[in-house]
Structure 1
Amino acid sequence: MLTRYKAWANELVFSMVMGLPYEEAVRQRTTRFGNMVHTLNHVYVIDSVFQAHIQGRKHGYTARNTSDHPPLDELWDVVRALDEWYVGFANGMSPEDLDRSIHFNFIGGGEGVMTCNEMILHVVNHGTYHRGFVGDMMYQAGVTPLATDLPVFLRDVPQEFD
């Protein structure tokens, strides 16, 4: 359910940002990643890093964001594909699989260990956190963002549980 929520919320946020003039989406603002698109790119980078951890492979990133971001439509394409991967991965996991511990190295240095379940929870929470920053930037652009809260998802999207 959480991965489906994340995909739904990303679809809403990307549709809102794509509905803005591109200059607004990339306007430099006083925020950690500078603009809406670069903030969404950071979320993609971290989602990719944790996918690699789950798959037991190297991710190739040396920082938690790239120096630049792709065009918004290209970013949305790769985010949507990664969201689909997370939904499919989570749907295919047994409780035992989700409790599997994974050892990894943090980008900033140091070792970590988390279960698959904890990694999924992290990417969901992390995305929610940064979508909040994008929402704030939308307010700065004079646009009231749509609600992307979990209760709204549960109310508006039919839930199918296996």
Structure 2
Amino acid sequence: MSLTSLSSLFAQKSWANNELFSALAEVDAQAHPQVVHMATRMLNHIYVVDRIFRAHLLGEPHGYSATNTEATPELGALQFEVAETDGWYEAYVAQLSEAQLAERIHFRFTDGDGGTMSREEMLTHIVVHGFYHRGNVGQMLKSIEVAPPRDLYTKFLHLREPERRG
């Protein structure tokens, strides 16, 4: 995948995360406590995995023993942390070279098993993982008759560059 494509996908990830957090914030948590809790847990899982792979990319310890935390964060605080991490990924991809993208990195999964992936594979995993689980949250919202945001790459591209619609 090209650096241009990765950059665009990470910008879309930031946009889609913000859209989904905004939609979830509008849900009446007292009327739908289980759905809000489960959706927040799922969004926290995405965040934790993003942070784990950020540490792998930097060659630093991540401090997580699982792919989610025991405590469920407050939605607004999580949205802030996710936005900060999304910004980091956008900046990170913007400064990479093709050679760095191909570099293979050895790391440990939270279960202790070792793994090796290229930077490109790690970054692709982060994008795909987020798409998958945002879709899970979208289904949770549908279960309480709330229309989830349309998390579409095509929509993002045309909002960002409206001249593409011509």
Pairwise CA distance, 1:25: 6.3
Correspondence 1:46 to 2:46: no
The structure where helix makes up a greater share of residues is 2
* DSSP 3-state at the match of 1:68: coil
* DSSP 3-state at the match of 1:23: coil
Correspondence 1:130 to 2:133: yes
In the other structure, the counterpart of 1:81 is 84
TM-score normalised to the size of structure 1? 0.90
For the structure 1 residues 28 and 138, does the alpha-carbon distance in structure 2 shift closer, same or farther, using more than 3 Å as the test?
Answer: closer
The count of residues paired between Structure 1 and Structure 2 equals 155
Q: Specify the code of the residue in structure 2 equivalent to 1:92.
A: Q
For the structure 1 residues 6 and 25, does the alpha-carbon distance in structure 2 shift closer, same or farther, using more than 3 Å as the test?
Answer: farther
Pairwise CA distance, 1:67: 1.2
Return the match for 1:21 from 28, 45, 52: 28
Give the unaligned 5+ runs of structure 2.
Answer: 1-7
- Which 4+ runs in 1 deviate beyond 3 A? 23-26
* DSSP 3-state at the match of 1:76: helix
* DSSP 3-state at the match of 2:34: coil
Correspondence 1:4 to 2:7: no
Q: Percent same amino acid among aligned pairs?
A: 36
* DSSP 3-state at the match of 1:16: helix
In the other structure, the counterpart of 1:71 is 74
In the other structure, the counterpart of 1:114 is 117
In the other structure, the counterpart of 1:96 is 99
TM-score normalised to the size of structure 2? 0.88
Return the match for 2:145 from 115, 134, 142: 142
Q: Specify the code of the residue in structure 2 equivalent to 1:69.
A: T
Give the unaligned 5+ runs of structure 1.
Answer: none
For the structure 1 residues 24 and 130, does the alpha-carbon distance in structure 2 shift closer, same or farther, using more than 3 Å as the test?
Answer: farther
Return the alpha-carbon distance in structure 1 between the equivalents of residues 31 and 135 of structure 2: 17
Return the alpha-carbon distance in structure 2 between the equivalents of residues 25 and 117 of structure 1: 39
Contact 1:4 1:87 in 2 (8 A): yes
Contact 2:46 2:130 in 1 (8 A): yes
Moved more, 19-28 or 88-97: 19-28
Contact 1:26 1:37 in 2 (8 A): no
